[in-house]
Structures are given as structure tokens and as C-alpha cells.
Structure 1
Amino acid sequence: MSLRPIINNLLDKLTAYTKLPIFPVILLIFIITGIYYKLVIFGKIPLPADLLVASYSPWFDYYKLPVQNPLISDAFSQFFLWKHLAVDIFKSGNWPLWNPYSFMGTPLLATYHSATLYPPNLLLLLPKYWGWGLFIFSQTLIAALTLNLLLSLWVKSTLARIAGSIIFALGGLMTTWLELGTAGHAIAWLPLIIYSIEKFSQTTKFRFFLLLIFSMVLLFLAGNAQITTFSFFIALLYGLFCNFKVSKISHLNLIYLLLAFILMAALVSPQLLPSFELTSKSIRINEGYIGEFNYGLLTTKDAFKFFMADFWGNPVTRNYWGFLNYAETSGFVGSLTLPLLLFSLVYLKKNVKVAFFLLLCLTSLILSFDNPISQFLYRTEIPLLTSSYASRMLFVSVFSISILAAFSLNQIILRKQEGKLIKTVIWSWAAVIGCLLGLLLTYYQFNQIYKSSYAKDVLATYLSRSDLNVPLLIISAKNSLPAFIQYSLVLLIFLIIKISPLKKFDEKKLKFFYILFTLFIILDLSRYFLKFNPFVDQNIIFPEVSEIKILQEKEGVFRVGREHAEILPPNTWIAYNLQTYEGYDPLYLLEYGEFMNFLNLGKFETGGTSRYAELSSNYKSPYLDIANVRYFIATLRDSTKRIPGEHLDSKFTKANYKLIYKGRSFALLENPNALERAYFTPSIEFLKEKQVKKVFEEDKEHDPRKKVFLSESLNLDKVTGKGIVKIVDYSPNKIKLQTSTQQSEVLVLADKFDDGWEVTVDGNPTKIVKANLIFRAIKVPPGKHNIEFYYWPKSFDIGLKLSTFTIILLISSTLIFLKLKRF
């Protein structure tokens, strides 16, 4: 029985199905779900929790695991925790405004990259950690589906749309930033924004006006300021581009688009206004980390990684030897995307759409790579645009390349230009062969010269440099082979098809060839995606261990400190509802950064303030006592300083803290001098902040436990410090206390001061001032009183009212347009 009729029948049916409008959507969902098979089938979660439990005490006493990727710890030390904290606060019926667990308290919603108001966060309501898994999955799926929708306006070929969508969803930083869940989510909405602009410009239908606002709101709430800024300017330029016509309707469209931007800004003002306020007071205004690495501008050799993902190695295989780090500099879009990009430059029919995305691609590459233009731009320090590494412009590069690749493949398929495609494949193949030969010849020549005793000493210095290290050249050669194999297979398959005697089946054979070509792109990018991103068992995501449970069972409100070592890294305390003075965030308050510098160095310095607020050595400090630091966690080491062991760090033994628990590598100590979270101070003095800093730095006899400096007068001459204070309720945005005193006293709450905090005594608003530079203090009249601190910043209040008004306005407008049948 001949297989030819069966194959022809299958191809005919497949062709018929591919013509259905819903087919690309179903196929993309199927492909993305298949790529996430570890989540869908095995229930593994995309989070580098293996790095957490294998690298830090007390978990590494229980878990001996290989670490897949040591590079992406921010996923578990920032974004995962902030989003779950926000959802937990929402579940309690409150806005996620304040994080009480880090930095002695810090704004949560105002921290822009926490993205607490981003609607897909609702997925985190799902049990266990399935919500996080689906949240990350949704990023890839949204990116693929929105680009497919945009391409449906211009690209007829289903295969071309699928290829472009997969390149965008998995290419470059969309993979390496995946588990952070911010930048990828942000740019995933850019295709929908452009689609809305395009459709509104063509039809002026109100539904596309609403869709534009909705998609821009999602962009701004996704939580990455740099990518949001890039995307906003691209949308603005595309809006001008679409309506650059001298006619009334074009001018009117521009007005509508401007109105959409304004309404979007109003809707997201509960996020933007607090974020602008916090940023202006954060360490970010003085942080110069991007300058240390040449602003993150890519080197020429990073261009290889666009089409050979691991040319300079990979952190997963522990052999990366490129510039900066892999996660920030990988622009990989698939080896077979290179021929499509070359086709777009040489053969693609140029029109205004092609010109726009070619120009966008070129501009993004100029701004990503080191050159005089990019150097000038980053030295001017334009807010938002140049606030982080330049390499993050690769998000835009991948976006524009994916569209150009789809345009190219569409023209190749529809106009039967396979010959031109093969030319670009041959060019790419030749380029890879040239790289391979160059690497092998260099390796051979270096070894030949190195064998000479005369040359050994001369070459030693050069061969020790990473870019001339001979063994690493072999890594690059090996990692060039996947691209070489793909190009070779494509050429071989095309050759077989061409020499096949079945001429009447040429068209169907070409369809088969294009399917294989697209499949190679999908498989190549899937390999890149799965190699980089760890999927872990749910039981190792912030697991319960006895050492941490001991702290959780302690009564009262208190803070925990730690040795500056391999223990509970900053922010991870949030998962266990433990409060600390440490934290990790590029947007925490600058004045708190200065205070941490004082704890570490004895001086209130602004320069050198790090996004890591950690105590490095001064574990015995009265300023920790007044911060309610009741417990410390320390490592146990042997005589060679290795973990585990029997010995504490000498700084802890000198501090005379009480040892209350001793494990294999983990010790828990109690600070007997720690004050309560809320207390009455026995002595006060009003001093300006500059004078207080001077006293703290110079007066070594000053005891902050016995005397509190107030930033403003509370009209009290004398206090006794006597009285009773009880914390009745302690929650992120609200703290309730009961007090009893014989006379007017000053109550100190050892939580971070912020202008958004208000306080009432028996329901009556009262004045709140800074105590000892960073804490809160109020005057409490004699007698028994109920005191309530609550956090409700004015910037959020204004934003919430403005957003509510805008929502009402849009609902009313929608009803009007529906009635007029112009929706």
C-alpha cells in the first residue's frame, strides 16, 4: 500500500485547518504548553529555589541539590516574595502599601518593580505555588498571542506568524528574565498596544480606543520602569507614524491617541504617583552601578550570541566567559532567524511598516552596543531611559527582529522565494564555518607557539586573559556546532526536495520544507529556554525547617538579625513573616541607606550606598537594641572556617548574646538588651537631623536606649519613660496599641518613619515626628488611651481618587458609544 495518498490527504486536511482564524492561537497555546511540560505534566515551578536551599543555611543542612542556574536569585529574593506579600495583604481586605518585614519597614506598592497592582497577580491566589507557575507561563503565552494578533494585520502565512510569535516569546531576554516576571510581562503587551493603535487609526471604533488604554495600563502596571518607558515611546512614535497624514481625521486620531495616553496615566496614577515619590527619595538617585560596567553597553563580540546562544559559554554549564553576565546580554533569537534577518535587509519588499521596524531594530542595536552615540546618551543620564543597563534595549531588538522575521518568511512562502532564502542560509552557514575555522586555527597556532620554551613566558600574560584563553576557544567552537548543524540540515533537506523526481508535488514539498524550517526555530528556542530556566519541586520553595520554626513560635513583635554569611539572604525572611533591619531593593529610602552606612562604618555617608542593606560586622550595637533586634542567626564553622562546625564568629562571642539553639550549621542567639517595639523613652531632646548625626558619629558615650532625639518639638519639657504600652494588633498598614501613663510621655515606635504614616489617639489625629532619625514618636497624654498608626500616603490617595473618577468616566463613555452604535 502506497503512503503517498495518505500523506497527501493529511497535508490537505492540515492546510484546511491552517486557514481557520483560530488555528494559530490554538497552535501557539499547544506549543507554549509543550515547552512548559515540566509545569503542566510534573507540577514543577519555574523558580530558582534550588539555588536558595542548596546555598544558604539552614536549608542546605536538609537539601543537597545540584543548582541549575546560579544567576537569577532575584526571582526568589525579590519578585516572588513581593507579589505573594501583596496578594496576602489584598486577601486581608487592605491595599498592599507597606512591607513591615524589610528595612525596618518600607513602602511596598510604591516600589515600582513590586508590581503589586498588576492584574495577572490574581493567579497567585491559586493553591500552593501553581499560581506562580501560571503567572510565569502567562508571560510567554501573552507575548506569543499578542504578537500573533498584531501580525494578523500584515502577515497572511500562518507559519510566518507562528515563527515570529515564538521568536518574540522565547528570544533573548524574554528567556533570561523569564522567572523575574516583570520586564517580559511588560513588553508582552507592546504588540497589543500597536495593534490597538493600528485598528483605531483605521476604524476610529471606540472599542479599540478602550483596548489601547487597557493594554497600556497593563504595560505600566507590569513593573519594569525601563521597558515600560521604551514601550511607551515606541507606542507614541507608532501613533504618530500611523497618522502622519495631512487630513482632519488623522489630526483627530492623534488627539484621541493623546487622550488615551492621558486617561491611561490617570488610571495607573495610584501606582505612578507613589512610585515617583519614592524614587525621588531612594538610593537610586545616587546609585552608580551601571557606570561600573560601561553602562551595560554590549561589546562587538556579543553580536555572536544573537544566533549562537552559548558562543561565549553559559552560566548553567559554568563556562560563561563573555561580557557582564549572560542574563543581561543574551540576544539569542534562534540560529535560523539570521537568514530571515538577512533576507529582510536584502530581499524584503520595503514599505512603511517594514521601514518602521527596520529603523526600530537598528536604533535599538545602536543604543544597546558600545559606540559614540550610545556613550553620549548614557553619559547624559536621561531619567528612566538610562537608569539601568543599556543591554535591556535587547527586549526591543528581539521584538523588532521577530516582526521582520515574520515579514520575511511570509514573503518567501507567498511569493515562492525559497531560492533567496537558501542564499541567506548559505551566507549564514559560511559565516559559522568561518567562525569555526578561525577558532580552530587560533587554538592550533597558540598551542604550536606555546610549545616553544622561548615563547612560553611571553605568552603567559596574554593566555591568562579570558578573551585569549585557549581552552575557552574550544568552548566557543563546540557551541557553534548547533548553528552549523541547523544550516546544514536545512540545505540538505532543500537539496533532497529539489532533486526529488516528484515534480507535481513541488508545492506540497515546499510546504513541508517551511514547516520543518519553522519547527527548527521552535526547537532551537525551546532548547535555549529550557536550558536556562530551572523548574523545581514545590516542596523546596521556602520549605519549613525546625530552625526557622523556632523563631516563628517566639511571642511578641521583634526583629531578627543575621551574620553576614550564607544565611537567609535579604528579603527571604518575608516568606516566614519574620521582620529584620536588612533588605534588598534598588528603591529603598536613601536616609535608611545612610543609617545602614552608620551601623557599618560609623558615618552617615550617602556615597557607596548599596541596594543591599546588610550589616557586615557590627553585631553589638545599641542602635540594634533600640531597633528591637531580639534575635541573631549565626553560622557554625570548624577550625578552618568551613561550614558546618562548632564555633561561632568571634564578634558574636564578644557580644555576650545568649545561645538558645544550636544546630548542625545554624545557631540562634538572643539579645538581652533589645528594647520592645514600642516603648516610652526616659529622656528626649529636640535636635535638627544634621546635629543628631554628629552626636551619633562623635559622641561615643551617647546611649540611644536612654535618650531619644526628636526631629520636631512635641511641646514636652520632661518625660519619665514610665508607663505601660501594649501592641494589640500589628499588620502591614495598621498598628494598634493601648497605653497607660501617669503623665504626658513620648511613645517611640521602632518602625521606619515615612510621611505616609498617620496616627490617632482615641480617634483624634496627632502629630508624628522622627525619633533617632528613622523611627516614629508621638506625644501621649496621661491616662489610658487607644493609639492607632495607619499608613495612607497622600500620593496614593490622590491617585486612587483620580483613577476612580477615570473608571467612572470610561464606563459612562462606553455606555454612550454603545447606545450610538459606534462601539
Structure 2
Amino acid sequence: MNFKNITPHIVAVVLFILINLIMYWPILMENKGLNQNDILQGAGANQEIIDYRAETGEEALWTNSMFSGMPAYLINVQWSGELTYYIYKAVSLWLPSPASHTFVAMLSFYILLMVFRVNPYLAIGGGIAYGLNTFFLISVEAGHIWKVAAISLMPAVLGGIILAFKKQYLWAFILTSLAMAMEIRSNHLQITYYLLLIVLVFGLFQLISAFRNKTLPDFFKAIGVLILAVLLGVSTNIGKVWTAYEYGQYSIRGPAELTSNTESSGGLDRDYAFAWSNGIWEPFTFLIPNFYGGASQEELSMSSDLAEGLKQRGVGSGQVRSIVKNVPTYWGDQPFTSGPYYMGAIVIFLFILGIILVKGPEKWWLITASILGIVLSWGKNFELFNYFMFDYFPGYNKFRSVSMTVAIPFLTMPLLGFLGVKKLIESDWKDSKKKLITAISITAGLCLVLVITSYIMQFRGAVDAQLADQGWPVDLIREQRASMFRTDAFRSFFFIILGGGILYFWKAGKLKQNLAIGLFIAALLIDFIPLGKRYLNDENFQKNVKRNFFQKTEAHQRILQDDGHYRVLNLNNPFNEAKTSYYHSSIGGYHGAKMRRYQDLINLHIQQEMNALIEKLRSGSTDLSEFGVLNMLNTKYIKFGNQAGQVIQNNNSFGNAWFVENIQPVKNPDEEIETLGQINPNETAVINQTRFDIPQGDLSEGNINLKSYAPNELVYQSDNTQSGLALFSEIYYPKGWKAYIDGKEAEILQANYVLRALEIPAGQHEIRFEFKPAAYYTGNTIMMISSIILIIVVIGGIVYSFISKPDGQ
């Protein structure tokens, strides 16, 4: 092996590690953690699963910690067949999260540029640009860790696909199958779906090119290799894919059951999906980070224009310091943002350079994909196209927050940019000089034009009227937005001139190649690291983050004195928090894929009962007998604060199970949920007679008690004089739950829209519910076998590629 050939790759890995050391020093060297909201909320949802694993060594597969019960494999389940976990750990050099994902993102884009034979040292700059853009870092700060893991692997998957069309079939198969296995393992199908859109655009242009050049056999050969590679990569995660698809049919991403829901064809509600839509001008943040004022809440310095303006108005220093701590500087169209999506001024300049210099299908598919991603990110602000996509394009209506489609241009635009630099290096200076100057002039000139334009802009945001009502100095805030806009426009102008100047003097022979590339990488680092530190800085890192977030309050301690199986309703934003779930089974929770029927129950019954409950508690009454839906869900405790006195014990909850006296048959889900609000669930069960056989005859009263509880197994003892119908305060889910009466399987009925019910014969019986979904157990076996095949193929392919080389290569 020629050491000289691998030196650039070693340098790339070492430099990427050093950059991660700078970005994540508190994690790597000071034993701190990131204060990431989504990660912490996830930890709350995970806790019952983790505790069960520690106690039994088994996987829970189901959890009652959120939304009265849901499959655990959507939250935190370990798969013994998931050998790709160890592959990813090795590829990321066992770095802790999120440094591991940032490192993989840099390495992945570096590999993609290697596929295009870009200078390896220049490709290091591409890796830096991809791993340090604020779209990536803000996602890290928010705790969208599976999202960033999926984003980090997109370039590697694309690289493998491109190798197939370069007729390097062995390496195409190895890289595609390996990268695809890790991509699917990231378990963020939304990002993987956007990667598919990129590949579809790429494939379309390849097909057109093959048709024109009469190379269709080569095209279909590449497709065949890639299909096999993707199938192998997906099969290593088939259990995850299977369970996610299976559950998806019953979640808010699946078909609606109520006719009142206009999205009855399946998928998310349109308003919900498009709530986070970029404004038409929002992509200008790719070039100028503070184009729209930064984050919804920005901390400003005491020397900022806003602070100085407040001081001139006689506001005291202490009050000024308090005001500038959280300033609503953002004035764009989104309801909330943690910061702008900054691609890099130099990267935008390179993208324009690529448009000018690169020829052929490579340019056009990258431009097309970039435009597609931007247009999709506009969401409701470009209804004509995006509503059509949502209504008709397969699978697109399963995903929310369409602003996330910027993941597409954040991959394709830097790629075209660095291909432009490659073309510049290879081109004759006389031919490329004018084109380089044109690219510099367009991007740098745009920055200056925007500065001039800013003097006639109003910087008025949708929130300004509300801010004025709250007493904010809106006129000073708008001046601050203008100042931030101009400062960052000049900043981007400077980096474009710096980056363009380095390339100019390199091609003009004034700078040697190694020095020029070193200066170019330094320029990228000077641009990205300080900008990234605006949104991922020392304040985000803390000691004992999880322990501080989940401090056991007096309210928790009071409830935990009860060692039974019950549920808790936190009246403070219950359906957008999982702190409660850390200690208790919760009526609420924090997850983007609740069960469809449970969401219906929230919308039509739970929310109404909560509002009435709050009014009742304010009146001083603790008689909660009228709240039938909350009582049937075994809501034994109401929590509205952290003090022991801010917990109400509900003595009217129906408990874990009960016999009913009557059955109210209905014919459809609409009748089912409507009737639920008209009956007493303690006495009557509502059952859809078109789906289940209604028990006949008189129903007996009796006793039924929970004897043992585990997330995936519940055992009851019943005693009734004649046949009866028992309802259980557990969520009905048909894919995996089975019921046994004295060891004999019995049919589980769905009652009261969301609950389980059983027809129980007379006498004393042991009743056992067990959750063993075939998708998990069968899928786990397939994952193990496929992972072993993948490892053998990768190792075998690498060995073959080396031993098959002629001597001297």
C-alpha cells in the first residue's frame, strides 16, 4: 500500500476529530452534556423501558409512560440483531453523540467528493462545510439526534449510487449497502425520504442521458446493482422498518377513521404538516445568517444598538441587561425558530461558480434538486406546488415541518460548489478567469445590494403587534434587526472576497496549491465555527443535565407513594412534555406519532374534560365523577404543580379493569366516539358491531383486579357469577397483543373507541395480556442474518478489491 495515497485521508480524519474537539470540548473533556430539549423529553419517555431492561434483561416493547400506552419500539428498544450499531460506532471512531454524528457528516461528504475525484485536501473543506452548517448544528442543539444521524449519512449513500453509474460496481455495492444500512438505522424516515427525492432526480437525468447516448444497458445494470445493495442495507433494519410501517397505519400518519377529518385518505393533517414553512425569502439565510434576524429569542450584548437605544431613553442598566437577554429578533414567517439555516457565504459563491463552470447532467440534476428542496421548504407559502405534492405524491403527506426539506439543497448545493472548484482547477486560467470573477461579483455584489436595499426595508415581523401589546420597544427592535442584517451582509461579503481571492491567486500562480488549500480551509473554519457558536456554545453544555431536568419534586414523591398501576394527568401542557413520563404512566406525553384514535380522543373528549376539570378544581370541588373518559383511562392523580399540595387524588377513576352492565352497539367510528360522550363508561361499553361480535345475553357484575404489571404483560384475577364483559384501562392495539383466559386465547375487543375488552365466562379466572409482536421477533432474526451477510460482503469485497489489483498499484 502506498502511504502517500492514504496520507490525505489520514489528515482528513485527524482534522475532523480536532474540529469536533473544538465544537464539543465540554462533552469530550469536561464530562458535560448538551441541554437538548428533545433528548431530555425522550429520556422521560424512555425511563420505564430502561428500568424494565435493567430489571429483567428483556425488552419492554410496550410502554404505558406516554399517551396511556403505545409500542416501545418507537421510543427505545434494543435489537439483538442490530449489528449495524457496532459498524456505526466503528465508523464514528466511538466518539460520543453528537460529536459522532458531526464527524460522520464530515467524513461522509468527504467520501462523496472522493467519488467525484475532487482533490482530497480540498474535499476536507467540503466535509467542514457540510458538518458545520447551522442547519446541522441547530438540529444538534435542539436534540433532533436521529435527524442529524440520517443527514450525516446522506452523502455516503449518494456516493455509492454515483459509483454504480461510474461502472465501479463492487465499490458501489459495498458503499451503498453499508451506508444505506446505517442510514435506515438512524430511524428518521423523513430525511431518508428526502434523500430518495434527490436520488429520483439524479436517476431521471441519468435515464435521459443513457437514452440519448444509447447506454441503457449500462443504466439498468447500475440500477440492478443498487437495488440489491439497497435491499441488503434495508434488510439489516427490517425489524425497525416493519414495526414502524405497522404502527404507522394506526398513528396520526395513517388513515383517519372519522369522517370529520378531511384527511381521511391517510397522512397528517395539512395544517399540522405545513405549520413550519419557510417564507419565500427565507433561503437568503443560506447566504446571510441574520437576513431574518436570527432566532426567535436572541441574546444581545450590552453594546448592541438595542441596548444603546434603551439607555438613551433612560432605561437602567439592570433592566437593559434583562431585556437584551432574550430579544425577539426573528421577523420571518415561521412560528418559532432556533436560528437561521446558514449554508456559508463561501459555499454559496462556490455554488454559483459551479453553475457557471460545470457542464452536463451533473450540473442540471444538482440545480434541479436544489430548487426542489427550496420550493418544498416554502410549504404553505407556495400552495400551488406544495399542496399538490402533499395530496398526490406517494408518502409525502406522512411528514411534518416541511422546512426540513432544506436538507436537500444543503447537500446538493455544496456538492455542485466543490465540483465547480474542481472544474476551476482543471480549466485553463484564461478561460476560467472571467467566470471566477463573475461568480465573485454576483455573490459579493448581491450582499452589497442587500445592504443598500435594507435602508428601505421595514423589518416588520408578524409578532410585532403582540410585542407592542407586551410593552416591547418595537421601533428599537426593528432597528436592531436592520443592524444585524447589515452586519451579516458585510460579513458574508468579506468571506466571499476572501474565498474567491484565494482561488484567484491560486489559479493565477501567486499561491502554491498546498498553501492555497490550507488558506481556503482556514477561511471556511473562520466562517463556520464562530457562526456555529452563536447557536451551539458553552451555555448549551451543563453538568448533570438529565439529573437536573428530572429532579424528583414533592408532587412526584407524593404520587410515588402509591405502588399500584395508575395514570397521571399533568395539567401543564400535558401533550407536549414527557417529564411526567419519567416517573409515572402518563395521560400525555411527547412524541410525533401518537395513535390516531388517541389523538381523536384528545381532540373530542380529553381536552374538553380537562378544561371542565380545571374550572371544577378552581371552584374548590374535587368530585371528579363526571369525567368519564379520564376516569376510564385510570387517571388516579391530577398534577398541576411541583408541590405536594398541587396533586389531587381522583377517587372516581375506574381502576385497572371493571365489568359493565350494558353494551351500546354502533355502526362506525363516528358513532363510537360520539356515543362515548353520552354514556357512563363505568356502566356501559360502546362497541362497533361491524368489526366485533357483540356479546349476547345478560351481563353479570363481578370483580376483576390487576395482580401483576409489566409493560408487556398484565395479569388479572376475575370473579363473576355469569358471563360478563370486562373493560380494561389499557389502549387497544391489534398488532401484537394477545389475551389468555386460564391459558386459552380469547379475542380482544375494542371498546369505548380506545380500550380493550374481553368477554369473560362465569367463575374465577386468571386473565393474561401479553405483547409479542411478530414484526419484532421475526424482524430481529432477519436483521441478524442480514447484518452478518453485510459484514461478510463488505470485508470480502474490500479484500477482493486489493488482491485483484495488479502489482504496483
Name the TM-score, length of structure 1 as normaliser.
0.75
**Residue 759 (structure 1) shift:** 1.0
Partner of 2:62: 98
Q: 1:753 aligns with which of 729, 732, 741?
A: 732
Q: Does 1:149 align with 2:130?
A: no
Q: Among 244, 265, 277, which residue is 1:275 paired with?
A: 244
Check conservation: 2:701, 2:720, Cα contact below 8 A: no
Structure-to-structure mapping, 1:665-684, within 5 angstroms: 667-679=646-658, 681=659, 683-684=661-662
Cα distance change, pair 567–470 in 1 and its aligned pair in 2 (3 A): same
Are positions 1:787 and 2:767 aligned together? yes
Contact map agreement 1:173 1:328 (CA 8 A) in 2? no
Q: CA 1:90–1:615 in structure 2 vs 1: closer, same or farther (change >3 Å)? A: farther
Query: Which amino acid counterpart does residue 22 of structure 2 have in structure 1?
Result: G
What's 2:309 paired with?
Answer: none
Is the alpha carbon distance of 1:84 and 1:378 closer, same or farther for their aligned partners in structure 2, counting shifts above 3 Å?
Answer: farther
Per-residue CA deviation, residues 328-387 of structure 1 (Å, 9 max, x unaligned), is: 8943112222322222222x2424434432332233234334557634634634343244
Q: Is 2:446 aligned against 1:431? A: yes
**1:32 aligns to what?**
20
Residues 486, 710 of structure 1: alpha-carbon distance in 2 compared, 3 angstrom cutoff: closer
Q: Give the distance between the partners of 1:776 and 1:157, measured in 2 at CA.
A: 62
Q: Is the 8 A contact 2:329 2:480 kept in 1?
A: no
Query: Which shifted more, 141-150 or 162-171?
Result: 162-171
Question: What SS does the corresponding residue of 2:362 show, helix, strand or coil?
Answer: helix
Q: Deviations over 1:70-99 (max 9, x none)?
A: xxx54543x444566666566544445322
User: What code does the residue aligned with 1:725 have?
Assistant: N
Q: 1:231 to 1:88 in 2, by over 3 A?
A: farther
1:706 is matched with 683
Letter paired with 2:220: H
Q: Distance in 2 between matches of 1:479 and 1:202?
A: 44
After superposition, residues 39-50 of structure 1 pair within 5 angstroms as 39-48=27-36
Shift of 1:554: 1.7
Checking the alignment, whether the CA contact within 8 Å between 2:448 and 2:489 is kept in structure 1 is no
- Residue 766 (str. 1) matches residue 746 (str. 2): yes
Indicate the residue corresponding to 1:551 in structure 2: 559
Contact 2:747/2:758 (CA < 8 Å) preserved in 1? yes
Q: For residue 580 of structure 2, what is the aligned residue in structure 1?
A: 573
Alignment of structure 1 residues 686-725 onto 2, 5 Å: 687-688=665-666, 690=668, 693=673, 695-698=675-678, 702-710=679-687, 712-713=692-693, 715=695, 717-723=697-703, 725=705
Structure 1 residue 405 corresponds to structure 2 residue 417: yes
Larger mean Cα displacement after TM superposition, 92-101 or 409-418: 409-418
Deviations 1:181-214 (A, max 9, x none): 1322222222121222234455665564254233
SS in 2 for 1:778: strand
The Cα offsets for residues 721-763 of structure 1, whole Å up to 9 and x where unpaired, read as 33353422x2222223344555544433211111121011232
**Matched residues in 2 for 1:202 and 1:560: separation?**
59
Distance 2:242 2:148 in 1: 23
CA distance in structure 2 between the partners assigned to 1:261 and 1:766 by the alignment: 41
**C-alpha separation between the residues in 2 aligned to 1:28 and 1:533?**
23
Structure 2 residue 404 is matched with structure 1 residue 392: yes
Any residues of structure 2 matched to 1:110-509 within 5 Å, and which?
111=74, 134-178=96-140, 179-202=143-166, 208-236=172-200, 238=202, 244=210, 246=215, 248=217, 250-284=219-253, 285=255, 286=263, 290-291=270-271, 296-313=276-293, 314-317=295-298, 318-325=328-335, 327=337, 330-346=340-356, 348-369=357-378, 370-371=381-382, 374-375=385-386, 377-378=388-389, 380-386=391-397, 387-412=399-424, 421=436, 424-440=439-455, 471-485=477-491, 487-488=493-494, 491=497
Is the 1:83–1:116 Cα contact (8 Å) retained in structure 2?
Answer: no
Corresponding position of 2:596: 590
In the alignment, the residues of structure 1 paired with residue 510 and residue 673 of structure 2 have an alpha-carbon distance, to the nearest angstrom, of: 88
For 1:433, the aligned partner's letter is: L
1:507 shift after superposition: 6.1
* C-alpha distance in structure 1 between counterparts of 2:231 and 2:344, whole Å: 38
Moved more, 143-152 or 322-331: 322-331
Higher mean displacement: 800-809 or 350-359: 800-809
Contact 1:738-1:786 at 8 Å conserved across structures: yes
Letter in 1 for 2:647: L
**Residues 84 and 529 (structure 1), Cα distance of their counterparts in 2 relative to 1, 3 Å cut:** farther
Distance change >3 Å, CA 738–CA 231, structure 1 → 2: same
Q: Secondary structure at the match of 1:760?
A: strand
User: What SS class does the counterpart of residue 530 from structure 1 fall into?
Assistant: coil
Aligned equivalents of 2:557, 2:416: Cα separation in 1: 54
The one-letter amino acid of 2:393's match is: I
* AA partner of residue 752 (structure 1): I
The 2-side partners of 1:561 and 1:633 are apart by 6
The answer to whether the 8 A contact 1:283-1:590 is kept is: yes
Q: 1-side partners of 2:229 and 2:559: how far apart?
A: 51
Identity level (%): 17
| TM-score, normalised by the number of residues in structure 2 | 0.76
Please state how far the C-alpha of 1:322 moved relative to its aligned partner. Answer: 0.9
- Asked if the contact 1:18–1:158 (Cα under 8 Å) also holds between the matched residues in 2, the reply is no
When residues 547 and 83 of structure 1 are mapped into structure 2, their CA distance, relative to the original with a 3 A threshold, is closer
Q: How many Å apart are 1:148 and its aligned residue?
A: 0.8
Contact 1:170–1:525 (Cα < 8 Å) also in 2? no
In 2, the alpha carbon distance for the partners of 1:812 and 1:441 equals 64
Query: Residue type of the partner of 1:100?
Result: N
